[in-house]
Amino acid sequence: MGAGVIGYAVAYEMAARGAHVRIVDPRGHGEGATRASAGILAPYIEGHSDALLQLGIASLNQYDNFLARLAADARLDLEYRRTGTLQIALDQDEVRELEAQAGRLARAQVDHSLVSTSDIARLEPGVASDARAGLLVPQHGYVGVSSLMTTLVAAGARRGVTPVVTNVEAVAATAGRVTVTTTDGDVTCDAVIIAAGSWSGGIATAGPPAPVRPVRGQLVQLHASPGALQRVVWGSACYLVPWTNGTVLVGATVEDVGFNERVTQKAVRSLRASGERLAPKLRMATFVEARAGLRPATVDELPIIGPSSTMRGVFYATGHYRNGVLLAPWTASVVADLVLTGTRGEGLDLVRPDRFGL
């Protein structure tokens, strides 16, 4: 349930291993958090807890292989570059934070370099000339999420994943089978995976609702000259993701506004201003569009992945908050292992549904 990046990655992986999979979503594919994701793959920036860092690194290590399989099945190319990230400090406090972060990376023996103002001018001439320091992490990168979604849908179709556009009302487990009640009738199956992101809590089950709350993210898409930036640039107020065709994504807001998926003028203005502060030449870039999506947040900011403790045949793969795209390959492989063979992959104990009574 849920045809976003997580639902589709799980569906694809399970179908590729021989399962018959239907993927159910009332709005079709990629309409939740996926819609406004910038696709940044940067666990050493976004891994704010040891657990999230561990899962992010594991998933990043699976990315090359996962996308190669997908692209081969879909017969499509997708935008994916391990350009590295350059985090920028614009004032002395931010320099101290970057130095502390570089110290942590050094202790963990992670490849990185702390660079000076003149290095930044050489590496990224588009970045503000008053940048005080930068932190390069070469193994980071990004994936173009629209091309990832298209590829997932095409690869899933080749493996027999059947999309069903309908509303799921309830899920009930009885006698080793699971019955899904939809607006268009009941469906019975061996297993259900709840991967409906922010909407996961609205699916009625015998247990408590999944404690996932929506956090809006707005993103602006600009068109600049190709090569205006070489790599993902991360600042304290925004991040910039440059695609090879000149697209630059500027993200993202973090807003507690419930199930409100509207784009606001205020966010567009503020993201553009932050983007131009970080890379002044973006003043010349043309506005393409702004998008909003709802990130599915949990209280501990870790996803909920694994079997329901109360309903046999029901599994969760939801609550990925800011990390759905990064964690998609790992989530797909651990869920497929769990559902198809009963194997509990490494890291699953960090994201157990029963920590929320599920």
* Interface positions with ligand GLY (CB under 6 A): 40, 46, 217, 251-252, 295, 322
Cβ nearer to ligand GLY, comparing 3 with 294: 294
CB of 324 to ligand GLY, least distance (A): 8
Can you give the C-alpha Rg of the chain in angstroms?
A: 20
CB of 103 to ligand GLY, least distance (A): 24
Tokens 């599920």 sit on residue: 358
Tokens 């193994």 sit on residue: 139
CB of 228 to ligand GLY, least distance (A): 21
* Kind and range of the H or E run holding 68: helix 50-74
CB of 307 to ligand GLY, least distance (A): 27
CB of 274 to ligand GLY, least distance (A): 13
| Alpha-carbon separation of residue 211 from 94, 166, 301 (angstroms) | 34, 23, 11
* CA separation for the pair 87, 110 (Å, rounded): 15
- Extended strands (E) in the chain: 22-24, 40-41, 80-81, 85-89, 113-116, 133-137, 141-143, 162-164, 168-174, 177-182, 185-189, 192-194, 213-223, 232-234, 239-242, 247-251, 286-297, 304-307, 314-318
Cβ nearer to ligand GLY, comparing 14 with 40: 40
Q: At what angle do helices 5-16 and 324-341 cross, to 10 degrees?
A: 40
Cβ nearer to ligand GLY, comparing 20 with 48: 48
In this structure, are residues 242 and 93 in contact, taking their beta carbons and an 8 Å threshold? no
Nearest residue to ligand GLY on Cβ basis? 322
* CA separation for the pair 224, 220 (Å, rounded): 13
CB of 142 to ligand GLY, least distance (A): 10
Cβ nearer to ligand GLY, comparing 19 with 351: 351
CB of 355 to ligand GLY, least distance (A): 22
Cβ nearer to ligand GLY, comparing 56 with 156: 56
Cβ nearer to ligand GLY, comparing 243 with 315: 243
Residue 8: Cβ within 10 Å count? 30
Strands 162-164 and 22-24: parallel
Cβ nearer to ligand GLY, comparing 140 with 159: 140
